[in-house]
Amino acid sequence: MPSAPRRAPRPLALGSPQPPTAGPLPMDEETYLELYLDQCAVQDDLVPPRSPLFSPVVPYVYPPNPSNPETTFNSHLESKETSGDFSSVDLSFLPDEFTQENKEQAVIRSKHEIEENCETQSQQSRLPLPSGQDVGPGLDSSSLSSSRSHLHPGDANSIQSSPEKANSNPSPLASITPMTPMTPVSECSGIVPQLQNIVSTVNLACKLDLKKIALHAKNAEYNPKRFAAVIMRIREPRTTALIFSSGKMVCTGAKSEEQSRLAARKYARIVQKLGFPARFLDFKIQNMVGSCDVRFSIRLEGLVLTHQQFSSYEPELFPGLIYRMVKPRIVLLIFVSGKVVLTGAKERSEIYEAFENIYPILKGFRKA
Amino acid sequence: MPGGGRCPDCGSTELVEDSHYSQSQLVCSDCGCVVTEGVLTTTFSDEGNLREVTYSRSTGENEQVSRSEQRGLRRVRDLCRVLQLPPTFEDTAVAYYQKAYQHSGIRAARLQKKEVLVGCCVLITCRQHNWPLTMGTICTLLYADLDVFSGAYMKLVKLLGLDVPSLCLAELVKTYCSSFKLFQASPSVPARYVEDKEKMLSRTLQLVELADETWLVTGRHPLPVITAATFLAWQSLQPSYRLSCSLAQFCKLANVDLPHPASTRLQELLAVLLRMAKQLAWLQVLKLDKRSVVKHIGDLLQHRHTLVRTAFREGTAEMETQEKELQGRGQGEEVGNSSLGLPQGKRPASPALLLPPCMLKPRKRICPTPAVSTVTGDESISDSEIEQYLRTPQEVRDFQRAQAAGQAATSVPNPR
């Protein structure tokens, strides 16, 4: 992630742009964020800085139209790259009287609406993105996917042309307020759950002699009477693995998907060095646990009353409320102090999505 | 009594089943009139007093039901009778047990689980009728472990897809307080300690409501809060004689178990009452502490709604950390920011934050958010890193020798 918000625009030669996915691609999202910041750096010269650089919603950050990759990203260099792409934009929400120019203005204004909505909402709880925290790609994947229809990357250059157009076309229709964005962007919480634990499995595809492994490896413990697997630990990434004689392995304790994969590979390498023909097949993340803090106290009794079909609150058994969200299928533990634990995810985006779903519900119980 | 029979002589409904030389009779317990005699009757009035025989007592039902299910159903009925529940509860609990038994997972469960399942069905029935039965009571009656019970309970609720309402706090207060043996003088209870039940109940209820409002109940086991509230209510009704009695002594003479968290809840409740007392002008001058505030609980409860509103204000965790920082820097003179709120002059103390105790406690050292790692998962793994985890051949030999020596030591039979 760039540490400074402003960087000189550079010609961007990306590889083949990938099709939009709903799943998390943290690395790709970071690259897209860089692109967005580059564009903003240029646009800041032309347009008064209305667009918040650090807004979690980045309407421009989305894979471009596969048909013309270069033109969209080099658009800031060629201001003549005009709005010919508007044909692919779905502007059906606008009244029919709109001309092409007014369409541009209305779309531009709606984009600014979205940015301002999010800006005012997230003013207090703004996360400085360049400081290195994960943007949380899944945070707005739903909003992005739905707003994509009327926010075309090609509009990036139309911002530059808007000042001229606004002056030259004082059409009465231009003052019509744009439609509200399709997704309630004003609800974004600005809090990102931190991943605490990742559980993954991998198949080493060979029979293992656990006694031999326990004998030759310093970091292994094996007590067949207690449990039929070797428990092995490594220091970097700090993880624990259960290695079974069938060749299957479970790796726990990593804080990110990549760390889990690296750790699993290290365990496989250790088993290889011990003389077994270990391979690395079917690596799969089975469970992800995240946690965060909403920073206000929550009336759990009230929450269980209104969301009875999802919640289970038994203070005699456990101090937290167990909320079983249906979509995405995540279990949340909600405590009176405002701390929330999310578990049961197979992907990072599920955790972010679940938290964004629960945050408005919890805010409703803020005032006792 | 079932059947709703009335005695033809005195009209009372207190009919008791009695057996006179092996012949069952229905006798009025007030006047002694024999209402029915045996099963064969001749008169019309007698037939009107016949009691129905439930289907479960007849022979037809049991043939379709497996023996273990029969045992379970009997246990359900027994438990309902021991707890003296209304008869409708019994039928509901039995229905739940039968419904659960239709699932193969339940049929294949161990006997211990099935035993605990009996308690779960009864608990769900009671909860749905707002009957205040705690899990602790059921576990004591079934000699079951709370962990086993909780697992079975959560699974059953999920399996049957039931909506189980929360424990009704007001009802629990009434039942629990009535179990305290303080309402009659006895050898163990001195005269000064005896208290009127109604007064104690109403005051305990008010204290529990106050605790609920000030975040002392959410997330905690309800019973210790009620114990603490009962103790305070009892003390405050005659403080001059009772202040010397401690919580443990109180529970002992009332013949009630003292739950462990009750003393903490007591301290928290007293802290809340002290804050409220600071808002009353005539109490401010008295410089109350945790013992003397008990004398004024009556007044505080009378005005509790106003006092809670003025003594506390809504806050968030950020405000709490800010205030702690300010205090740490010695800026407590700013009355507006100080949450301790020592009164300056005659002004009531500034409001404290209304937050659960877990948010008011000093924050633990926050783990620094882990630096974003640039791990891709596909980096190359150096050999040296792997070697550090492997034993050298020499170490392997040493380890094997040590293991053999250890095993030899344990396998040698001890001559003693």
Percent of the residues in chain A that have a pLDDT greater than 70, as a whole number: 49
In a domain, residue B259? The reply is yes
Shared-domain flag, residues A206 and A258: yes
A350 and A333 in a single domain? The answer is yes
Is the CB of A217 inside 8 Å of chain B's CB atoms? yes
Asked if residue B294 and residue B278 are part of one domain, the reply reads yes
What digits encode the pLDDT tens for the residues A119-153? 444 444 444 444 444 444 434 444 444 444 444 44
B187 and B225 fall within a common domain: yes
**Are B153 and B218 contained in the same domain?**
no
Decide which of A285, A305, A334 is a domain's last residue: A285
The CATH number linked to B216 is 1.10.472.10
Contacts across the A-B interface (CB distance below 8 Å): 127
Say yes or no: A273 and A301 in one domain: no
Residue A259: the pLDDT is 94
Mean pLDDT of A318-339: 95
A287 to A346, B327, B369: CA distances (angstroms): 5, 43, 21
Q: Do B215 and A367 count as a contact with CB atoms less than 8 A apart?
A: no
Residues A253-280 have a mean pLDDT of 94
Is A4 part of any domain?
no
Question: Which chain B residues are within 8 Å of A313, Cβ to Cβ?
Answer: 166
Q: Pick from B136, B385, B400: which is nearest to A215 by CB?
A: B400
Coil, helix or strand for A141? helix
Domain check: are A251 and A313 in the same one? no
Total structural domains within chain B: 2
Of A185, A178, A183, the C-alpha closest to A110 is A178
Q: Is residue B271 part of a domain?
A: yes
pLDDT in tens, A166-196: 444 455 555 555 555 554 445 578 899 999 9
Measured between CA atoms, the residue of chain A closest to residue B390 is A217
Is 50 exceeded by the pLDDT of residue A334?
A: yes
- Alpha carbon distance B114, B108 (integer Å): 9
Confidence band for A90, pLDDT divided at 50, 70 and 90? low
Consecutive 10-residue averages of pLDDT for chain B (416 residues): 67 78 76 72 58 60 80 93 93 94 89 93 95 94 94 93 91 93 86 90 95 93 95 92 91 92 94 89 84 89 88 71 65 42 50 83 68 79 89 90 90 70
B157/B211 same-domain check? no
For A:321-340, CB contacts with B below 8 A are 335-338
Chain B residue with minimum CA distance to A302: B218
Residues spanned by the domain of B92 = 67-167
Give the neighbor-by-neighbor strand order of the sheet with A330-334.
A220-222, A229-234, A239-244, A248-254, A194-203, A281-293, A339-345, A330-334, A321-325, A311-313
Q: State both tokens at A16.
A: 């083949």
Query: What residues of chain A, 1 to 20, have a C-beta less than 8 Å from chain B?
Result: 1
Answer yes or no: is A341 within a domain.
yes
- Residue recorded with tokens 């950020």: B318
Cβ contacts of A24 on chain B, cutoff 8 Å: none
Query: What is this structure's pTM?
Result: 0.66
Which residues from chain B sit within 8 angstroms of residue A337, using beta carbons? 317, 356, 358-359
Q: How far off is chain B from A184, nearest CA to CA, in Å?
A: 25
Phi-psi region of B34 (alpha: psi -120 to 50; beta: other; left: phi over 0): beta
CATH code: domain of residue A340: 3.30.310.10
A275 has a pLDDT exceeding 70: yes
Nearest to A289 by CA among A199, A192, A202, A358: A199
Residue A310 falls inside a structural domain: yes
Query: How confident is the model at residue A55, as a pLDDT?
Result: 42
In this structure, the number of other CB atoms found within 10 A of the CB of residue B6 comes to: 17
- Does one domain contain both B184 and B161? no
Indicate the average pLDDT of chain A: 71
In a domain, A25, yes or no: no
Domain range for A299: 294-367
Q: Which residues of B touch A318 (CB under 8 A)?
A: 150
- Decide if B154 and A312 are in contact by the 8 Å CB cutoff: yes
Angstrom distances, CA of residue B246 to CA of B187, B228, B232, B241, B242? 19, 11, 10, 12, 9
Q: What is the distance between the alpha carbons of residues B284 and B346, in angstroms, rounded to a whole number?
A: 8
- Give CA torsion, residues B203, B209, B212, B214, to 10 deg: -80
Sequence-separated (6 or more) residues with CB below 8 Å from residue B14: B1, B7, B28, B29, B30
pLDDT above 90 covers a percentage of chain A that reads: 45
- Find where tokens 């021991």 sit: B82
Position B30, amino acid: D
Among residues B167, B195, B211, which one ends one of the domains?
A: B167
Pairing of strands B312-314, B352-354: parallel
3-state secondary structure of B27: strand
Please indicate, yes or no, whether residues B121 and B191 belong to a single structural domain of this protein: no
Reported ipTM: the value is 0.77
CA-based nearest distance B152→chain A, Å: 12
Q: Do B126 and B221 belong together in one domain?
A: no
Say if residue A281 is in the same domain as residue A302. Answer: no
B188 and B241 together in one domain: yes
CA distance A55 to B48: 81
Judge whether A58 lies within some domain: no
User: Among B167, B194, B220, where does a domain finish?
Assistant: B167
Domains held by chain A: number: 2
Out of B290, B312, B334, a domain closes at B312
Q: Cα–Cα distance between B238 and B219 in angstroms, integer?
A: 32
Which domain-ending residue is among A240, A264, A285? A285
Q: Are residues B152 and B189 in the same domain?
A: no
Give the bridge partners for B19, in sequence order.
B24
Q: Is residue B2 part of a domain?
A: no
Answer yes or no: are the C-beta atoms of B264 and B258 closer than 8 Å: no
**Domain-embedded: residue A52:** no
Last residue of a domain, one of A263, A285, A307: A285
Residue B222's Cβ-side half-sphere holds a number of Cα atoms within 13 Å equal to: 24
The answer to whether residues A276 and A300 belong to one domain is: no
Is residue A113 one of the residues assigned to a domain? no
Based on the fold, state whether residues B156 and B208 are members of the same structural domain.
Answer: no
User: Do B151 and B177 fall into the same domain?
Assistant: no
Of A261, A320, A338, the CB nearest to B317: A338
Structure tokens, B246: 């401690």
Beta bridge partners of A321: A313, A334
A200-225: per-residue pLDDT in tens? 999 999 999 999 999 999 999 999 99
First CA to last CA distance, chain A: 40
Chain A residue numbers touching B152 (CB-CB < 8 A)? none
Distance CA B349, CA B327 (A): 16
pLDDT at A240: 97
Identify the pLDDT of residue B355. Answer: 86
Distance from the Cα of B169 to chain A's closest Cα (Å) equals 11
Are both B208 and B279 inside the same structural domain? Answer: yes
* A143 CB burial (10 A radius; 0-12, 13-18, 19+): buried
- Per-window interface: A 196-215 vs B, CB < 8 A: 215
Q: Is the pLDDT of residue A62 over 60?
A: no
The verdict on whether omega for the bond into residue B222 sits within 30 degrees of 0, i.e. cis, is: no
Q: Do A319 and B154 touch (CB under 8 A)?
A: no
How many Å lie between the alpha carbon of B144 and the closest alpha carbon of chain A? 14
With CA atoms as reference, report the closest residue to B123 among B81, B168, B91, B153: B153
Chain B residues with CB-CB distance to A236 below 8 A: 385
With an 8 Å Cβ cutoff, are A218 and B390 in contact? Answer: yes
